[in-house]
Amino acid sequence: MEKIAHYQYIRSIGKGGMGEIFLVHDPICNRDVALKQIRTDLQEHERIKNRFEHEAKITAALTHPGIISIYSIHEEKGHIFYTMPYVEGKSLKQLLIRSTPHPSIPTLLPLFLTVCQTSAYAHSKGVVHRDLKPENILVGKFGEVILLDWGLAQYLSDPSDELLDVEETNPELTHPGKIVGTLSFMAPERALGTPATIQTDIYALGVMLYQILTLHLPFKRKSLKEYRLHFKSETLVEPEEVAPYRDVPPPLSRIVKKCLKINLDERYQTVEELIDDLNIYMEGRSEWQESTLLDTKNKQDWEFQENVLISKHIALTPATEAADWISLMISKTAFAENLRLETKISIGEKGHGIGFLLAVPEAEERTSPLDGYCLWLGTEEEPYTRLLYNTVEVTQQPSLYLTPKKWHELTIEKIENHIKVTLDGHLCFTYLSYLPIAGTHVGVMARDADFKMEAISISIGNQNLQVSCLAIPDAFLASKDYKRALAEYRRIGYSFPGHAEGREALFRGGITLLEEAKSVKNAKKRQALHSAALEEFGKLHKTPGAPLEYLGKSLVYKTLGDHSEEIKCLELALRRYHKHPLINTLKEQISYRMHESAQHDRRSAYQLILIVLRLLPGLFDSKDSLRLFSYLIKHWEQLPFLENPIDPSLLGKEESAKENEIHFATPLAFWLAAPYTLLEILEDAQSLNDDTAQANLIYSLFELGSYGLAQKAMQNFPGRDQFMPLLLCHQDSLAKALESFNPTDIGIRKFRVISYLLQYALRTDQDDSVHSIANKILDLPLSREDRIQLDSYRVWAYLKHKKIKEAETIFESYPLEMLNQETTLLHPLYGCFLYLTEGEEIAEIHFSGVIDTPFPRTWALLSHELINKISENPAWYNTSFMWERRHLYRQLTLYYQCIDNPELEKYYRHLEKQEYL
């Protein structure tokens, strides 16, 4: 044979049951190709010809690296052949049987995975192979893995193609007849005449994997007739027993057995499921073994089962509207570090959602019933799913929710520092924490009882041989063997300086020292460990993991209670590394600390909210953050000198996002006494030509006592003339300031200037100026708030000089009930008046009428100091703001002036002067 058409014959490659393949040269393309034609002794069979043509066309229709490409299909004088690339290699069968030594399982497994992926592709195109076996797998010389012989392939949508039968005498070959396939690889349902499906291919893949694991077939079948009679009694010998010398991994043995299940419901439904399990093994992910079932109806399963009131933002306000009653259950059983939680849930029409708790600490280690992680699944009414840590949101998925009256399948996996959530078979989100996820209990949380839930299946995860290099020191850290953990982390960090594992090891080394410090009682040793932790985190400086240096140091300062330094670290990292790949880790920590501080530390909460506003505007998309911001604005003390205070309902609105941010950030920066932040905000206001915001910012600088910065800020402001009286107060005199404007020209801007001058006159004992200004504007139409403010300054000036009748005249213009309420500026002044007119006992009754609250309004501070000594309470003093302390000391100065205690009057006057920048 010299030529086939225009192709030049070189040699024969092989011969099969239907066709033969030659290596030929294509002179037109100047390349060697493989040419396949019907065997010469079968070319007269019409069925064979149809089958051959079918193979060529179905192969040509599939495009995948694991399927050979068809160059061309020819038919000349009834002679059909087609050409394809020539791939030099061996069949998988040759590798399994003839190779010595036999290839190992780790060598063969990637080849098998490629075959599975190729089959999955064919199935996605609606094609089943129907003759999967090692003979039809070509392993190329350069690593190619190609699935051959598509002669029996069939479109699932067209089961009417010609059928061919298995040879009774040779179970390894396929010959004409009715039922197609190779007997050793045939699924039981095919032997009974059921049409081929995806699951019949899966069965054949299972036989192939069994051969890879053991080098043997799982069953010895002599004939189709015998197979039909005895398939139910066939015994599958465990691969580990058949080939103990092959070290068959149990996970792969389980995969084989699932592929070969007779019951189709127990067999893999798709090749993708098989591929997933193979990847889990090959990537070294956890294998799961069911540990226990937890039933919400069985009280014996739960150590804690109570209704709990959850309060949020308690550091910002004592109001109870941020509190929720929830039903909470925490498991009695503690589980290993890696676990999988599986259940089915159905929410009723009135249900609000349901939460699942993970990593809940032991009872003696909990500071709150909700310590640990909580996955909250919302409903269509509140379509918002989020992951919380210690009740603080760390990540969210707004588009994920539970549909009422529908059963949902939920899976939550916690592997080391990873949490993965799957709902109804779809991976919803994953979360990685750079901090250790400790705690071994799980739980359930609900806001109502309108839900149904099956028993929760808890599976424990075991690692296979491909474990992370961090697993060993992680285990030491979990068992509190700090020295060995630190040594291992350092070794890994130095060994892999350019890898993620290396930087993570250095970071965890610092965490190890920090955890050890928590367990030490000796103060000096604890201090040394904290210093060592700072040094350990410092090793990340100028490395690809540099943001983690600041995250780690912030954790040290948090542990030390130095929240100012903690927040500086976080802000510095944000400013330096805002485009760094690890920046999301910092964002999560800032968001977490912002919400956590809202429960415990008002000052830190304000600082972190301001950082979020300035540097992380994306957090406005978070419902929890918006809820916190709105709650803060609704309950904080409004500063009387700010125009157009922020409206909480406008938060998160894109059309006015920047303006809202400025109007929100201004009072925050003022309360925190942060003048340079106010200047930064001023630049933004100037870029938007927002005159109101600019005026608010300049006035805030004056109120803080930053007169030089205020003067600088005025230079580029078109309405700077309104602030000239304020500047003249400090650069010249109050008299000059009063000459520079007409006090009868009153708008809010002018009145806040008047208010400033009145306060300045009182502070500098120029009390006659108070009455002079007041007399000029008393008859003008003032708002109720401005009128009360003006009268408070007048009363203040009268009380300083014990002008009782004049003060009494003003008080008589207000209802007594109003004067006794702590909601007015006149309340502390009326108490001083009562001391002068009725005596100490009556005054004390007046002052003691205030409601006990952790953070009183500024005009009620005098009462709380006299009754509760709040200045001696660290909970108030350490988180109080300069503006609040200034008002407290100013009120105390007046009080001791009224009761003739010059020593304390002088003392508090001195303290007040220190509360200016």
Q: Same domain, yes or no, for 452 and 486?
A: no
Per DSSP, the three-state class of 716 is coil
Query: Does residue 794 lie in a domain region?
Result: no
Q: At 43, which CATH number?
A: 3.30.200.20
In three state form, how does the secondary structure of 99-113 look? CCCCCCHHHHHHHHH
Q: Same domain, yes or no, for 45 and 193?
A: no
Q: HSE-up of 437 (CA within 13 Å, CB side)?
A: 26
Cis peptide before 101 (omega within 30 of 0): yes
- Which of 86, 115, 138 is the C-terminal boundary of a domain? 86
- The gap between the terminal CA atoms of the chain, to the nearest Å, is 102
pLDDT for 122 equals 96
Q: How far is CA 780 from the centre of its chain?
A: 57
CB 325 within 8 A of CB 308: yes
Secondary structure letter of residue 618 according to DSSP: G
Can you count the helices (H) and strands (E) in the chain?
35, 25
Rounded Cα–Cα distance for residues 765 and 436 (Å): 59
Q: Same domain, yes or no, for 819 and 899?
A: yes
Structure tokens at 504: 């993570």
Contacts of the segment 120-123: beta carbons below 8 A, 24+ positions apart: 120/270, 120/271, 120/272, 120/275, 121/62, 121/64, 121/66, 121/67, 122/62, 122/64, 122/67, 122/147, 122/153, 123/198, 123/201, 123/270, 123/271
Structure tokens at 502: 């290396």
Query: Does residue 444 lie in a domain region?
Result: yes
Secondary structure letter of residue 194 according to DSSP: P
Query: Does residue 716 lie in a domain region?
Result: no
Secondary structure letter of residue 577 according to DSSP: -
Q: Same domain, yes or no, for 381 and 526?
A: no
Structure tokens at 678: 């106010």
> Which residue range(s) make up the domain with 107?
89-283
Please list the ranges in the chain whose pLDDT falls under 70: 1, 159-181, 286, 311-323, 462-467, 620-621, 648-656, 743-749
Q: At 111, which CATH number?
A: 1.10.510.10
Element (H, E) at 4: strand 3-4
Quick one: which of 776, 722, 773 has its CA closest to 749? 722
Query: Which residues are CB-contacts of 878 (< 8 A; sequence separation ≥ 6)?
Result: 603
Rounded Cα–Cα distance for residues 819 and 830 (Å): 7
For 509, 545, 579, 595, the CA distances from 434, given in Å and listed in that order, are: 12, 12, 19, 19
Percent of the chain scoring above 90 in pLDDT: 55
CB 570 within 8 A of CB 593: yes
Q: Same domain, yes or no, for 2 and 147?
A: no
pTM value surpassing 0.75: no
The amino acid that residue 652 corresponds to is: G
Query: Does residue 706 lie in a domain region?
Result: no
Q: Same domain, yes or no, for 209 and 181?
A: yes
Q: Same domain, yes or no, for 296 and 427?
A: yes
Query: Does residue 753 lie in a domain region?
Result: no
Structure tokens at 799: 């009380």
Rounded Cα–Cα distance for residues 855 and 866 (Å): 15
- Angle, in degrees to the nearest 10, between helices 767-777 and 784-800: 150
Q: Same domain, yes or no, for 367 and 476?
A: no
Structure tokens at 803: 């002008």
Rounded Cα–Cα distance for residues 778 and 792 (Å): 13
Structure tokens at 572: 């510095």
Neighbours of 94 (CB within 10 A): 15
Element (H, E) at 791: helix 784-800
CB 59 within 8 A of CB 73: no
pLDDT for 655 equals 58
Sheet with strand 137-140: strands edge to edge? 89-91, 137-140, 145-147
pLDDT tens per residue, range 652-706: 666 567 888 899 999 999 999 999 999 999 999 999 888 999 999 999 999 999 9
Secondary structure letter of residue 720 according to DSSP: G
Query: Which residues are CB-contacts of 230 (< 8 A; sequence separation ≥ 6)?
Result: none
Tell me the β-bridge partners of 376: 355, 386
Q: Same domain, yes or no, for 568 and 420?
A: no
- Angle, in degrees to the nearest 10, between helices 500-519 and 471-478: 10
Quick one: which of 150, 153, 179 has its CA closest to 165? 179
Query: Which residues are CB-contacts of 250 (< 8 A; sequence separation ≥ 6)?
Result: 240
Buried b (16+ CB within 10 A) or exposed e, 409-432: ebbbbbbbbebbbbbeeeebbebe
CA angle 625, 629, 631 (to 5 degrees): 115
- Which of 601, 636, 671 is the C-terminal boundary of a domain? 636
Number of domains forming the structure of the chain: 6
- Which of 523, 544, 565 is the C-terminal boundary of a domain? 544
In three state form, how does the secondary structure of 515-566 look? HHHHHCCCHHHHHHHHHHHHHHHHCCCCCCCHHHHHHHHHHHHHHHCCHHHH
Element (H, E) at 61: helix 46-61
Neighbours of 396 (CB within 10 A): 20
CB 811 within 8 A of CB 795: yes
Query: Does residue 824 lie in a domain region?
Result: yes
pLDDT tens per residue, range 265-299: 999 999 999 999 999 888 777 677 778 999 988 98
Rounded Cα–Cα distance for residues 543 and 522 (Å): 34
pLDDT for 177 equals 44
Q: At 400, which CATH number?
A: 2.60.120.560
The amino acid that residue 586 corresponds to is: L
Handedness of CA 678, 680, 685, 691 (dihedral sign): positive
Query: Does residue 698 lie in a domain region?
Result: no
CB 574 within 8 A of CB 583: yes
Rounded Cα–Cα distance for residues 118 and 116 (Å): 5
pLDDT for 408 equals 95
Q: Same domain, yes or no, for 272 and 128?
A: yes
Rounded Cα–Cα distance for residues 437 and 445 (Å): 20
Element (H, E) at 725: helix 724-731
Q: Same domain, yes or no, for 264 and 382?
A: no
Q: Could you tell me where the beta strands, DSSP code E, fall in 70-222? A: 72-76, 79-85, 89-91, 127-128, 137-140, 145-147, 154-155
The amino acid that residue 342 corresponds to is: E
Query: Does residue 182 lie in a domain region?
Result: yes
Structure tokens at 842: 């009556």
CA angle 274, 276, 281 (to 5 degrees): 100
Quick one: which of 84, 101, 103 has its CA closest to 92? 103
Enumerate the active-site residues: 131
The amino acid that residue 84 corresponds to is: M
pLDDT for 570 equals 96
Q: Same domain, yes or no, for 435 and 508?
A: no
CB 392 within 8 A of CB 595: yes
Secondary structure letter of residue 229 according to DSSP: H
Rounded Cα–Cα distance for residues 419 and 397 (Å): 14
